[in-house]
């Protein structure tokens, strides 16, 4: 990041102030530049990948004294009326979202130099496991903007945004952006990222239809490789040798890719061996060759992981582990997950217990969701729902897996008979962003708490509800709360929760701190503040960021006019601290 952009990072509450404010929350009332040579692949270097292994069992005012401008235009126009043509939006700034459909205001980059904007977008990391961060990044990257600050253009801004969308696994978002900004595929780096992700997301034909045009536009040998992959995928193996010769003439020395291509032409069907960390083109060629996939292969990135999860020849535990990692990184949606779950054998209902949920595996989560969707009996369905919630992480509950669970939870009746799972149903609604639907379940859970029947479950729900302004903190006595959380052993957790609630409820009222040079800040650039937050948390996400650091981030977001983003991020963190059964 440039020094200029760093000046826009606004400090928040000091750590000391947060510590002092934390107890008081209970008294509050709340309702990369374009590459030269080889284009940059979307996917991380192999050594950064983790192995997929089978899991255990407004404008300025003008001078009022100045003469009015001469009226020009059609002489038939009424006197005093200016006739101007509406200008089409610059495709580089086009998007599919705005304030009315989940996007940000169009002035999100106002006042920030272009170089800083480009650096911020290029800095969005791959591997975001937080649904809240991926959702915030997606809405920002797809927002249609008014303009960028002054400065030299180094990359097409739409191309930079598309690359970032692909890094976080959003192939559909990147394709939607390409529809309103076709020049994305004229940028080599973005074109390569788009082709790779479309291919691995299962849209092989869409990717291969673009391959010839991209090959004629760009000169790097990687495009020859993708041409070979598409030739094999389309059954044109007789053209492979000619393309290999052209690739070699360009000086490419990828002997492994060449051997794999020659094996396809020769009709080799034996298992692939010795390919532990394949490049994107090597992986794609293995997938289209039809040869058995080496189970010891290490893969990273949402696209390759999703492709691996869809491979029927892999052992089921390995497919499920890949599917969960792809889902966590944004490369797989709920429908895609369910299609993989079709291969999971029907479970023995006696094995899907609360005890089993304490040692969760991808297979257990697959089996319990499958059983939950098939179970017709309300009481048994409620029991399976509890197991599924206890066996899944906060990020899973906030993401597509949680959305699938919520489909089933909608069938529960709001009666006393379901009071035991009311805290879990309310938690899931809140993590899925359904505040209104959560309120009746919060009230049902509170009734159980007042009757001393909930066994401490409400202690883990009310702070999450308070983050959404559904309960008042003054309703709960701190000593009892900490006791029900686990006593002295839970005090650090309780302090972290209170610090985050303080930031959420008081952040927008916090004064703006001075800039590094001591001057008064001119205001907040929403896009910069949000991207600073995303880049600061990165792969750790809200649940892995220390409470004091996260409180500073939440305060910045709130006073920048982004309270909804702050709330979702903060709620995810609070839910992570207060996991059921922890």
pLDDT, tens digit, 9 for 90 and up, residues 470-504: 998 878 888 989 998 989 999 999 999 999 999 99
Contact 264, 289 (CB under 8 A): yes
Q: What is the pLDDT of residue 68?
A: 39
Q: What is the pLDDT of residue 294?
A: 79
Residue 434 reports pLDDT greater than 60: yes
The overall average pLDDT reported for the chain is: 83
Residue 412 reports pLDDT greater than 70: yes
Between 57 and 362, the more confident residue is 362
Q: Could you identify the residue written with the tokens 């700034």? A: 93
The rounded distance, in Å, linking the Cα atoms of 144 and 167 is 20
For 24-40, write each residue's pLDDT tens digit: 444 444 443 333 345 65
Q: What is the pLDDT of residue 503?
A: 95
- SS3 assignment, position 298: strand
CB neighbour list of residue 47: distance below 8 Å, 6 or more residues apart: 277
> Average pLDDT, stretch 218-245?
91
Half-sphere exposure of 28 (CA within 13 A, CB side): 20
Q: What is the pLDDT of residue 349?
A: 79
Q: What is the pLDDT of residue 520?
A: 46
For 556-565, write each residue's pLDDT tens digit: 999 998 999 9
Residue 133 reports pLDDT greater than 50: yes
> Average pLDDT, stretch 354-383?
93
Between 40 and 525, the more confident residue is 525
pTM of the model: 0.83
B/e letters for 296-325, b = 16+ CB within 10 Å, e = fewer, are ebbbbbbbbbbbbbbeeebebbbbbbbbbb
Q: What is the pLDDT of residue 452?
A: 76
Residue 182 reports pLDDT greater than 70: yes
Q: What is the DSSP string of 74-131?
A: -TTSPTT----PPPPPPGGG--SB-GGGT---TTTTTTS-HHHHHHHHHTPPS----H
Q: In the structure encoding, which two tokens stand for residue 38, read together?
A: 């080889």
Q: Which of 84-88, 195-199, 407-411 has the lowest mean pLDDT?
A: 84-88
How far CA 551 is from CA of 267, 500, 516, 554, 574, in Å, comes to 59, 5, 20, 5, 11
Q: What is the pLDDT of residue 516?
A: 55
Confidence of residue 568 (pLDDT cuts 50, 70, 90): very high
Residue 448 reports pLDDT greater than 60: yes
Q: What is the pLDDT of residue 543?
A: 96
Q: What is the pLDDT of residue 525?
A: 86
Residue 316 reports pLDDT greater than 90: yes
Q: Which of 69-78, 191-200, 305-314 has the lowest mean pLDDT?
A: 69-78
> Average pLDDT, stretch 275-302?
88
> Average pLDDT, stretch 531-542?
94
Sign for the CA dihedral angle at 427, 428, 431, 436 comes to negative
CB neighbour list of residue 49: distance below 8 Å, 6 or more residues apart: 277, 298, 299, 300, 301
Residue 7 reports pLDDT greater than 90: no
Q: Which of 87-91, 240-244, 527-531 has the lowest mean pLDDT?
A: 87-91
Q: How many CB atoms lie within 10 A of CB 564?
A: 14
Residue 165 reports pLDDT greater than 80: yes
The rounded distance, in Å, linking the Cα atoms of 104 and 141 is 9
Hey, which of 104-118, 242-256, 430-444, 482-496 has the most confident mean pLDDT? 430-444
Between 196 and 36, the more confident residue is 196
Residue 436 reports pLDDT greater than 80: yes
Between 373 and 59, the more confident residue is 373
Confidence of residue 273 (pLDDT cuts 50, 70, 90): confident
Q: What is the pLDDT of residue 249?
A: 84
Contact 144, 89 (CB under 8 A): yes
Confidence of residue 6 (pLDDT cuts 50, 70, 90): very low
Backbone angles phi, psi at 551, to 5 degrees: -60, -40
Confidence of residue 274 (pLDDT cuts 50, 70, 90): confident
Q: What is the pLDDT of residue 325?
A: 96
Contact 97, 144 (CB under 8 A): yes
For 282-292, write each residue's pLDDT tens digit: 999 999 998 88
Confidence of residue 48 (pLDDT cuts 50, 70, 90): very low
Confidence of residue 515 (pLDDT cuts 50, 70, 90): low
Residue 98 reports pLDDT greater than 80: yes
Q: 298: phi > 0 → left, psi -120 to 50 → alpha, else beta; which?
A: beta
Tell me what percent of the residues of the chain surpass a pLDDT of 90.
Answer: 60
The rounded distance, in Å, linking the Cα atoms of 233 and 227 is 10
Q: What is the pLDDT of residue 508?
A: 59
How far CA 150 is from CA of 47, 110, 113, in Å, comes to 39, 10, 5
Sign for the CA dihedral angle at 159, 537, 115, 62 comes to positive
């Amino acid at each position: 990041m440039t020094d200029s952009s760093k000046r826009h990072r606004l400090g928040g509450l000091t750590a000391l102030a947060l510590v002092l404010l934390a107890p008081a929350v209970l008294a509050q009332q709340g309702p990369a530049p374009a590459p030269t040579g080889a284009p940059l692949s979307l996917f991380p270097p192999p050594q950064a990948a983790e192995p997929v292994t089978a899991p255990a069992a407004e404008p300025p005012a003008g001078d009022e004294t100045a003469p009015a401008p001469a009226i020009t235009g059609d002489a038939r126009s009424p006197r005093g009326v200016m006739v101007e043509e509406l200008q089409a939006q610059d495709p580089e700034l086009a998007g599919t979202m705005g304030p009315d459909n989940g996007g940000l205001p169009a002035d999100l980059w106002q006042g920030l130099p272009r170089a800083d904007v480009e650096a911020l977008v290029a800095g969005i990391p791959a591997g975001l496991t937080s649904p809240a961060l991926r959702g915030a990044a997606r809405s920002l990257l797809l927002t249609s903007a008014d303009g960028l600050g002054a400065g030299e253009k180094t990359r097409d801004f739409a191309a930079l945004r598309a690359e970032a969308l692909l890094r976080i696994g959003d192939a559909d978002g990147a394709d939607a952006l390409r529809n309103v900004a076709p020049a994305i595929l004229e940028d080599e780096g973005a074109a390569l990222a788009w082709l790779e992700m479309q291919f691995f997301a299962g849209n092989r034909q869409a990717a291969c239809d673009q391959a010839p045009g991209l090959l004629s536009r760009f000169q790097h040998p990687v495009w020859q490789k993708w041409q070979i992959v598409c030739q094999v995928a389309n059954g044109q193996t007789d053209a492979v040798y000619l393309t290999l010769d052209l690739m070699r003439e360009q000086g490419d020395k990828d002997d492994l890719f060449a051997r794999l291509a020659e094996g396809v032409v020769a009709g080799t069907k034996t298992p692939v061996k010795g390919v532990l960390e394949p490049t994107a083109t090597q992986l794609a060629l293995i997938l289209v060759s039809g040869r058995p996939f080496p189970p010891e292969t290490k893969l990273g990135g949402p696209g390759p992981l999703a492709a691996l999860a869809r491979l029927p020849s892999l052992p089921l535990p390995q497919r499920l582990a890949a599917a969960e990692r792809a889902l966590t990184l944004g490369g797989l949606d709920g429908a895609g997950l369910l299609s993989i779950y079709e291969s999971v054998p029907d479970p023995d209902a006696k094995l899907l217990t609360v005890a089993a949920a304490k040692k969760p595996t991808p297979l257990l989560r697959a089996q319990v969701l499958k059983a939950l969707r098939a179970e017709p009996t309300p009481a048994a369905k409620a029991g399976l729902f509890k197991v599924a919630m206890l066996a899944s992480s906060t990020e899973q509950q906030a993401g597509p897996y949680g959305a699938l669970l919520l489909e089933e939870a909608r069938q529960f009746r709001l009666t006393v008979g379901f009071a035991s799972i009311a805290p879990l149903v309310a938690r899931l609604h809140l993590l899925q962003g359904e505040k209104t639907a959560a309120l009746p379940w919060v009230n049902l859970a509170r009734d159980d708490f007042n009757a001393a029947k909930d066994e401490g479950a409400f202690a883990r729900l009310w702070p999450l509800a308070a983050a959404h302004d559904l309960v008042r903190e003054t309703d709960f006595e701190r000593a009892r709360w900490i006791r029900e959380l686990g006593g002295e052993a839970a005090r650090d957790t309780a302090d972290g929760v209170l610090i985050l609630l303080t930031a959420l409820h008081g952040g927008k009222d916090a004064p703006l701190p001075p800039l590094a040079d001591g001057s008064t800040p001119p205001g907040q650039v929403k896009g910069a503040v949000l991207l600073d937050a995303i880049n600061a948390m990165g792969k750790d996400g809200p649940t892995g960021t220390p409470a004091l650091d996260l409180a500073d981030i939440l305060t910045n977001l709130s006073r920048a006019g982004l309270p909804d983003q702050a709330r979702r991020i903060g709620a995810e963190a609070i839910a992570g601290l207060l996991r059921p059964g922890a």
